[in-house]
A and B are shown apart, each in its own frame.
Chain A
């Protein structure tokens, strides 16, 4: 277990030193969302209606931006080989890297999301649900993304390919994420949506770790 946390700490330190990824993802998220009032007009009723969907779609796209780097750095400089030789199973290496990736890029999205909800004049009722749904949903984005990142790590310029592989898999998260917030805004029960998001997260933990590790094994050959 020490190796697990050691890897998480190192990845966070690297993310913090470079800074680029986390900040880029946040700025992308902010910019995309501020485009909408310009695009659809400042009419409050329309913005209120589309706010949950816009925030979630922007979050999916933002999360995808940083996926290419999830394994690429360690693959290119040979670190991944040495990690595999170490005491940690590859599945746990994937989970550690996903956790660090989420802390560095997913969590900041959750933190700024309420601010953007205000910008889109979303109803205050939905704020806690939005945060809750994103806390459950954004780790799924990192985990599912790890499959795409693992498959494309040995390809040059695999960035676009990742989007094509991963975006369709993000649809369930989008549906239930938006569903939860919509339900809360309209005074319906958000609980079922949240529970399904939670179930998806629990299922994604082992499944994505396994699939991503299998993809990485092929890439390391």
Chain B
């Protein structure tokens, strides 16, 4: 949960005193106009950005403690942003295998690829993927490298309707397992019982 978060980018106060909490199995939808700080908020939660004020806690303790906990396997953050982190020179399967190995998840990637409907492309070099297929490969990382908190920044951009349904199903399963999700989106995604945080228009 977060209390009084503030963010300043380029000398401009993007948002101020933002409070939210996500319970296990919960979801939070971030709404707001362009430039209202949805991406900044997700990047603060991920730890890439330092908040200009406020604090982030996890089970009542500051985030950093838990993050560097040697046996913090119970806590992990998965981030899917605007960039898909796909290496064009590697095949689809190699891309995903790298992340699965890097995060030490021991998950076989074939299942994750099938789930996102790109299993038949596994041996194709990633440079031949379409934008939507690249995005699906980025989302397959959520399955290949499990984490308890998913931060999804506009996950449905470039996706077709079927894929959006798949993503919604993945989120539902993740929540059923006690995982947490924060989604920044313009397109309406149907997330049952999700909290909604609307970031104010930039001032």
Q: Is A7 positioned at the interface, with any CB of B under 8 Å from its CB?
A: yes
B residues 43-94 with Cβ under 8 Å of A? 46-50, 76-79, 81-87, 89-90, 94
Known: A3-B102, A81-B83; 6 extra A-B contacts, CB below 8 A, are A78-B81, A81-B85, A82-B99, A85-B77, A87-B103, A220-B48
Q: How many angstroms from the CA of A3 to the CA of B145 in the assembled complex?
A: 13
Residues of chain B lying within 8 A (CB to CB) of residue A220: 48
Q: Is A79 positioned at the interface, with any CB of B under 8 Å from its CB?
A: yes
With A77-B83, A81-B46, A85-B46 given, is the CB distance from A14 to B90 under 8 Å? yes
Residues of chain A lying within 8 A (CB to CB) of residue B49: 221
Q: Is A156 positioned at the interface, with any CB of B under 8 Å from its CB?
A: no
Q: How many angstroms from the CA of A6 to the CA of B95 in the assembled complex?
A: 12
Q: How many angstroms from the CA of A6 to the CA of B144 in the assembled complex?
A: 15
With A85-B46, A220-B48, A221-B48 given, is the CB distance from A14 to B102 under 8 Å? no
In the complex formed, the residue of A with least CB distance to B134 is A77
Chain A contact residue count (CB 8 A cutoff): 24
Q: How many angstroms from the CA of A143 to the CA of B98 in the assembled complex?
A: 24
26 contacts between A and B (CB under 8 A): A2-B101, A3-B103, A7-B102, A10-B87, A10-B98, A13-B90, A13-B94, A17-B90, A73-B87, A77-B85, A77-B86, A77-B87, A79-B87, A81-B81, A81-B83, A82-B79, A83-B102, A84-B47, A85-B46, A85-B76, A85-B78, A85-B79, A86-B103, A87-B102, A221-B48, A221-B50
**Residue from A2, A79, A83 in contact with B104 in the complex, judged by beta carbons closer than 8 Å:** A2
Is A3 within 8 A of B101, CB to CB? yes
Is A81 within 8 A of B48, CB to CB? yes
A residues 179-221 with Cβ under 8 Å of B? 220-221
Interface size class of B (residues with CB under 8 A): 20 to 34
In the complex formed, the residue of B with least CB distance to A13 is B90
Interface residue ranges, B against A (CB under 8 Å): 46-50, 76-79, 81-87, 89-90, 94, 98-99, 101-104, 141, 145
Q: How many angstroms from the CA of A8 to the CA of B86 in the assembled complex?
A: 17
Q: Nearest 10 A-B pairs (CB), nearest first?
A: A78-B83, A17-B89, A79-B85, A78-B85, A6-B101, A10-B98, A3-B102, A6-B102, A82-B85, A220-B48
Q: How many angstroms from the CA of A186 to the CA of B86 in the assembled complex?
A: 53
Max chain B C-beta neighbours (<10 A), residue from A73, A85, A86: A85
With A82-B99, A85-B78 given, is the CB distance from A14 to B104 under 8 Å? no
Q: How many angstroms from the CA of A17 to the CA of B126 in the assembled complex?
A: 13
A residues 8-24 with Cβ under 8 Å of B? 10, 13-14, 17-18
Interface residue ranges, A against B (CB under 8 Å): 2-3, 6-7, 10, 13-14, 17-18, 73, 76-79, 81-88, 220-221
Residues of chain B lying within 8 A (CB to CB) of residue A73: 87
With A2-B104, A77-B83 given, is the CB distance from A18 to B89 under 8 Å? yes
**Residue from A6, A77, A78, A81 in contact with B98 in the complex, judged by beta carbons closer than 8 Å:** A6
Q: How many angstroms from the CA of A221 to the CA of B85 in the assembled complex?
A: 17
Residues of chain A lying within 8 A (CB to CB) of residue B84: 77-78
In the complex formed, the residue of A with least CB distance to B79 is A85
In whole Å, how far is A117's beta carbon from the nearest beta carbon of chain B?
34
Q: How many angstroms from the CA of A14 to the CA of B48 in the assembled complex?
A: 26
In whole Å, how far is B7's beta carbon from the nearest beta carbon of chain A?
11
In the complex formed, the residue of B with least CB distance to A18 is B89
Is B104 within 8 A of A87, CB to CB? yes
Residues of chain A lying within 8 A (CB to CB) of residue B101: 2-3, 6
Q: How many angstroms from the CA of A83 to the CA of B99 in the assembled complex?
A: 9
In the complex formed, the residue of B with least CB distance to A3 is B102
Q: How many angstroms from the CA of A18 to the CA of B94 in the assembled complex?
A: 15
Q: How many angstroms from the CA of A34 to the CA of B124 in the assembled complex?
A: 41
Residues of chain A lying within 8 A (CB to CB) of residue B78: 85
In whole Å, how far is B115's beta carbon from the nearest beta carbon of chain A?
19
In the complex formed, the residue of B with least CB distance to A217 is B48
Q: How many angstroms from the CA of A77 to the CA of B135 in the assembled complex?
A: 12
In the complex formed, the residue of B with least CB distance to A78 is B83
